């Protein structure tokens, strides 16, 4: 058994979590109507795909561009330009709010972990943020790409490892995804239609600290699990006009069949079982995934209230979504261990154990 990465370092606490969404609220019924028009040439008839919108468990999500934008044929340059501009706006908003809630200035931050997979920016988003927030010139930066929906949990884990490695270090975690910008009107695949029914845009920021003066809830363990020969389960394909969605219809079945052993293996390294958990903060990939997670963790149908509420109100924002859920779960002051988890490309699972005092 490999050693627990949290065991040898300084104690780490999770401080404030702040979230941000872009200004355009998209009602699911309006998206459904727009999709019916855009997908009318889909082989087999558009109506057979419309139940995806009804069964997604989503009422509203947010987009950095208005609904009228969808349907335009745009290339990589324009699409990525929108990503760079709007992602930075959301990160600045979330970061500033997080710092204010922590009672800190940008100059108090020692390191930044910035997670995003829905666009490309070089210089990276965190470097560009230095021109907007007065972060120190010597701040350490870790931009992370390619984690997809798992990025919120794994980004939290990377931030925790950095804070633990040096006592007194404050790490600002930044996570942003603009999934809605990946919509490509020429893609009539079922996976793309499902993504159209699910995806939204959002960002989150969190303070992860080993500084003795900082309040927060203890992060007591972190880890991950990647299944071999599973690259085709989830990810992006690179197309001429943008990123194409890749995910398997078997994800709910994989959750029920394979995730339990990975969860139990992680928890056992910390002397915890599923039955000991006071709460879970799981990334809600979709309605079927939440239902599978509820069965896995022993909840009644509908029992993962925070995950379902976030999915209904914001859609699947990929990496930031789990931090929206975790913010709600921790606000309820659970009396015992909390497990944050997410699934993403690899095919991988990320786990973070939080033990509120």
* Domains recognised in the chain with CATH numbers: 12-209 (3.40.47.10), 217-354 (3.40.47.10)
Instruction: Give the β-pairing of 348-354 and 217-226.
Output: antiparallel
How high is the pLDDT of residue 41?
59
How high is the pLDDT of residue 34?
84
Residue 273 has phi, psi (to 5 degrees) of -120, 170
Q: Give residue 42's pLDDT band: very low, low, confident or very high (50, 70, 90).
A: low
- The label of the residue with tokens 């087999």 reads 44
Residue 167 has phi, psi (to 5 degrees) of -55, 135
Q: Would you state the structure tokens that stand for residue 179, as one six-digit string?
A: 């999934």
Tell me what the mean pLDDT of segment 157-165 comes to. Answer: 97
Cis peptide bond upstream of 347, omega within 30: yes
How high is the pLDDT of residue 299?
94
Tell me what the mean pLDDT of segment 99-111 comes to. Answer: 98
Which residues, at least 6 apart from 51, have a Cβ–Cβ distance to it below 8 Å? none
DSSP classification of residue 49: G
Is 132 a residue whose pLDDT tops 80? yes
Is 126 a residue whose pLDDT tops 80? yes
Tell me what the mean pLDDT of segment 13-24 comes to. Answer: 97
Q: Would you state the structure tokens that stand for residue 44, as one six-digit string?
A: 């087999």
H/E stretch holding 113 reads strand 111-115
State percent of the chain over pLDDT 70.
95
- Do residues 111 and 12 make contact, with C-beta atoms less than 8 angstroms apart? no
Catalytic residues: 149
Out of 123-132, 193-202, 231-240, which region has the weakest mean confidence (pLDDT)? 231-240
Out of 73-77, 83-87, 111-115, 291-295, which region has the weakest mean confidence (pLDDT)? 73-77
Q: Would you state the structure tokens that stand for residue 338, as one six-digit string?
A: 């909390």
Summary mean pLDDT of the chain: 89
Q: Give residue 2's pLDDT band: very low, low, confident or very high (50, 70, 90).
A: very low
Tell me what the mean pLDDT of segment 20-36 comes to. Answer: 90
Tell me what the mean pLDDT of segment 259-279 comes to. Answer: 94
Is 153 a residue whose pLDDT tops 70? yes
How high is the pLDDT of residue 330?
97
Burial per residue of 190-227, b for 16 or more beta-carbon CB atoms within 10 angstroms, e otherwise: eebbbbbbbbbbbbbbbbbbbbeebebbebbbbbbbee
Is 315 a residue whose pLDDT tops 70? yes
How far is residue 338's CA from residue 218's CA, in Å, rounded to a whole number? Answer: 10
How high is the pLDDT of residue 1?
40
How high is the pLDDT of residue 4?
58
pLDDT greater at residue 239 or residue 78: 78
DSSP classification of residue 220: E
Is 195 a residue whose pLDDT tops 80? no
pTM metric for this prediction:
0.92
Cis peptide bond upstream of 123, omega within 30: yes
Helices (H), the chain: 28-38, 51-54, 76-102, 125-129, 151-165, 190-198, 251-254, 260-268, 287-297, 305-314, 321-331
pLDDT greater at residue 11 or residue 242: 11
């Amino acid at each position: 058994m490999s050693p627990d990465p949290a065991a040898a370092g300084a104690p780490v606490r999770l401080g404030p979590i702040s979230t941000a969404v872009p200004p355009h609220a998209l009602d699911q019924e309006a998206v459904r109507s727009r999709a019916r028009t855009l997908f009318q040439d889909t082989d087999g008839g558009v109506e057979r795909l419309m139940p995806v919108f009804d069964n997604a468990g989503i009422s509203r999500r947010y987009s950095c561009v208005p609904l009228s934008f969808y349907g335009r044929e745009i290339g990589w340059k324009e699409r990525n330009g929108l990503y760079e501009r709007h992602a930075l706006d959301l990160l600045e908003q979330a970061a500033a709010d997080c710092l204010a809630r922590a009672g800190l200035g940008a100059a108090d931050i020692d390191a930044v972990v910035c997670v995003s997979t829905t666009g490309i920016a070089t210089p990276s988003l965190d470097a560009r943020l230095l021109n907007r927030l007065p972060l120190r010139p010597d701040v350490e930066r870790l931009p992370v790409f390619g984690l997809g929906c798992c990025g919120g949990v794994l980004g939290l884990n990377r931030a925790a490892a950095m804070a633990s490695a040096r006592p007194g270090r404050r790490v600002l975690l930044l996570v942003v995804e603009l999934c809605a910008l990946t919509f490509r009107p020429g893609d009539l695949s079922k996976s793309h239609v499902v993504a159209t029914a699910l995806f939204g845009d959002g960002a989150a920021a969190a303070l992860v600290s080993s500084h003795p003066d900082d309040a927060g809830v203890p992060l007591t363990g972190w880890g991950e699990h990647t299944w071999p020969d599973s690259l085709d389960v989830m990810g992006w394909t690179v197309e001429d006009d943008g990123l194409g969605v890749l995910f398997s219809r078997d994800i709910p079945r994989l959750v029920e069949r394979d995730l339990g052993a990975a969860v139990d293996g992680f928890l056992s390294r910390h002397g915890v079982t599923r039955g000991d958990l006071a709460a879970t903060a799981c990334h809600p990939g979709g309605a079927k995934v939440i239902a599978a997670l509820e069965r896995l963790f022993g909840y009644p149908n509908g029992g993962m209230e925070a995950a379902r509420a976030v999915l209904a109100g914001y859609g699947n924002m990929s990496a930031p979504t789990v931090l929206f859920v975790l913010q709600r779960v921790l606000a309820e002051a659970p009396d015992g261990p909390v497990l944050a988890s997410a699934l993403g490309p690899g095919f991988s699972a990320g786990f973070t154990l939080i033990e509120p005092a």
